[in-house]
Amino acid sequence: MIFGSPAASVPRDLLHGPSRVTADLRTLFGLSFSKRKRSALPGMELRMVNAERPALAQSVTFYRAASITLFAVLACIVVLTFRQYGITWDEPGQNRYGSLVDRYYLDLFHGRYNLAPIVDDYNFGYYGGLFDSIAAGLEHISPFGEFETRHLLNAMVGLLGILGCWKMARLLGGYAAGFWAALLLAVTPRYYGPMFNNPKDIPFAVGYVWT
């Protein structure tokens, strides 16, 4: 009949909506294999996941312990060797710059504003004075010499950089990636050597990795 019931002229599969058609297409192209596999083999995937968890947990535990050991060894090496590093070309000027920054803030707290000594002292005014001002202040209370104190502080900042590299790599690739990234940075001469006596590049690199 032309004016009969819609159900009489429309295929039954279409009455069930898109879900039935989609199911038929999935079956036709084999896209429902995963569902049949799960129903045919109940608990198999769960057992596979559970079998992988101990190995994953052991890997995380191993690299976490290895990372802690690495940082402990690096800290011990820094403490034992920081007094054996010489003075670089920039350090005397950077040390003077830190003292001028400290003097500027002391004068500012007493109501005197005098930025001229910092601006007129070569081009140090273009560099941040945070590290140098802290180093210059610690020299007055440190039991070590002037530059030995700077080298110890510089190395501690360098260790923070290795820690920041470890955290970033761990975030991207897990504990194994974090350990290898920290180890490779620690054995890079261009980083580890200047870590003790480069008051410009090392603090800048550390601030960059922690930003």
* Structure tokens that stand for 6 in this block: 């819609």
At residue 102, the pLDDT reads 87
Percent of the chain with pLDDT over 90: 51
Rounded Cα distance, 155 and 137, in Å: 17
DSSP summary character for residue 5 = -
With beta carbons less than 8 A apart as the criterion, state whether 177 and 63 touch: no
Tens digit of each residue's pLDDT (9 = 90 or more) over 106-161: 888 887 877 766 666 667 767 788 999 999 999 999 999 999 999 999 999 999 99
Calculate Rg over the CA atoms of the chain: 32
- pTM of this prediction exceeds 0.75: no
At residue 114, the pLDDT reads 73
More confident residue, 69 or 110: 69
More confident residue, 123 or 84: 84
65: pLDDT strictly greater than 90 = yes
Tens digit of each residue's pLDDT (9 = 90 or more) over 2-27: 444 444 454 554 445 555 545 554 44
Return the axis-axis angle of helices 91-109 and 130-138, rounded to nearest 10°. 90
At residue 118, the pLDDT reads 66
Residues with Cβ < 8 Å from 25, sequence gap 6 or more?
31
- Of 65-79, 89-103, 162-176, the range with the lowest mean pLDDT is 89-103
Q: Nearest 5 degrees, angle CA 144-CA 105-CA 148? A: 15
At residue 46, the pLDDT reads 45
Residues with Cβ < 8 Å from 183, sequence gap 6 or more?
70
- Of 2-11, 82-91, 198-207, the range with the lowest mean pLDDT is 2-11
50: pLDDT strictly greater than 60 = no
